[in-house]
């Protein structure tokens, strides 16, 4: 569907499943490596979205039990959904794939806001459950609007990075944990680098083609995943420090805690015994 056509029509749905039906075409050449996959690197670069979240589901069992927030597993499942839909989109360049990709990102971002928005930022008297219902309504409304004017979806989603970064910086300044601060700095750098890759691939493709590196969007997938899940880990830590006063949250790394380039996760310890993680 051409972006100027506006709202999707029922008879367009089948066409939108066809390969190449999307107006978005990234810098990487189409069907260069495989006759079945349109953008080979852009498709395979989603692998982290599929491999890491199942491990995070396991690592965050302690957090989910201690803080009583099992909806964190929704975040990890949505990360997998983003990876699957992005891979489908880049493999087919279909409009259906594009919409699935963008809507999965929208639902992931809104779910993150619903779960981890700091309580002090909520209107006075508004309970977390009511806020979650409000975010659900906003997400459904956003889904409808995304189908009305899909050409602005990508740039609209990018703007969510501004309030998320602001809240992350605010929380980092309140936190005195050096380990958290270092992860926060790496997360901001990763996000900035990811945005740089996305914008350059989208707006300066000819330049990168001259340099024979039309793979910045694939690099965006890797960087934005690392930034996104690290951001989730950080907000899970901030939330645990506020919502579980009887426990001490600890940032740890898998597989070796002393190796800070591993996979970060949060575990909680009883305040009277900080040597062992709490397990209900």
pLDDT (tens digit per residue) in 83-96: 999 999 999 999 99
pLDDT of residue 120: 84
Show binding-site residues for Ca(2+). 25-26, 28, 30, 39
Candidate CATH numbers 1.20.1070, 1.10.1060, 2.30.30, 1.10.10; the one for domain 24-270 = 1.20.1070
Helix/strand/coil (H, E, C) string of 168-210? HHHHHHHCCCHHHHHHHHHHHHHHHHHHHHHHHHHHCHHHHHH
Decide if 104 contacts 85 (C-beta within 8 A): yes
pLDDT of residue 119: 85
The domain locations on the chain are 24-270
- Residue pLDDT, tens place only, 30-62: 999 999 999 999 999 999 999 999 999 999 999
- Whether pLDDT at 28 is above 90: yes
Show binding-site residues. 25-26, 28, 30, 39, 90, 217, 221
- For residues 154-163, give the mean pLDDT: 91
Show binding-site residues for Zn(2+). 90, 217, 221
Averaged confidence pLDDT in the chain: 89
Confidence band of 245 (pLDDT split at 50, 70, 90): confident
- For residues 116-129, give the mean pLDDT: 86
């Amino acid at each position: 569907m051409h972006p100027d056509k506006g709202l999707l029509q029922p008879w367009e749905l089948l066409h939108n499943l066809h390969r190449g039906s999307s107006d978005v075409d990234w810098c990487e050449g189409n069907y260069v490596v495989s006759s079945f996959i349109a953008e080979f690197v852009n498709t395979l670069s989603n692998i982290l979205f599929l491999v890491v979240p199942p491990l995070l589901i396991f690592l965050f069992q302690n957090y989910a039990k201690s803080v009583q927030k099992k909806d964190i597993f929704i975040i990890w499942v949505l990360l997998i959904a983003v990876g699957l839909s992005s891979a489908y989109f880049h493999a087919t360049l279909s409009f259906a794939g594009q919409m699935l990709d963008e809507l999965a990102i929208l639902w992931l971002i809104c779910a993150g806001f619903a779960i981890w928005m700091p309580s002090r930022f909520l209107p006075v008297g508004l309970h977390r459950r009511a806020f979650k219902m409000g975010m659900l309504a906003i997400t459904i409304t956003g889904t409808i609007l995304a189908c009305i004017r899909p050409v602005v979806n990508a740039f609209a989603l990018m703007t969510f990075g501004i309030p998320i970064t602001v809240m992350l910086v605010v929380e980092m300044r309140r936190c005195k944990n050096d380990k958290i601060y270092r992860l926060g700095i790496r997360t901001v750098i990763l996000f900035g680098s990811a945005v740089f890759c996305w914008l350059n691939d989208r707006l300066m493709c000819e330049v990168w083609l001259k340099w024979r590196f039309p793979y910045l969007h694939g690099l965006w997938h890797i960087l934005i995943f690392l930034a996104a899940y690290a951001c989730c880990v950080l907000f899970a830590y901030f939330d645990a420090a506020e919502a579980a006063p009887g426990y001490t949250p600890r940032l740890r790394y898998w597989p070796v805690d002393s190796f800070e380039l591993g996979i970060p996760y949060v575990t909680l310890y009883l305040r009277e015994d900080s040597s062992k993680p709490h397990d209900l």
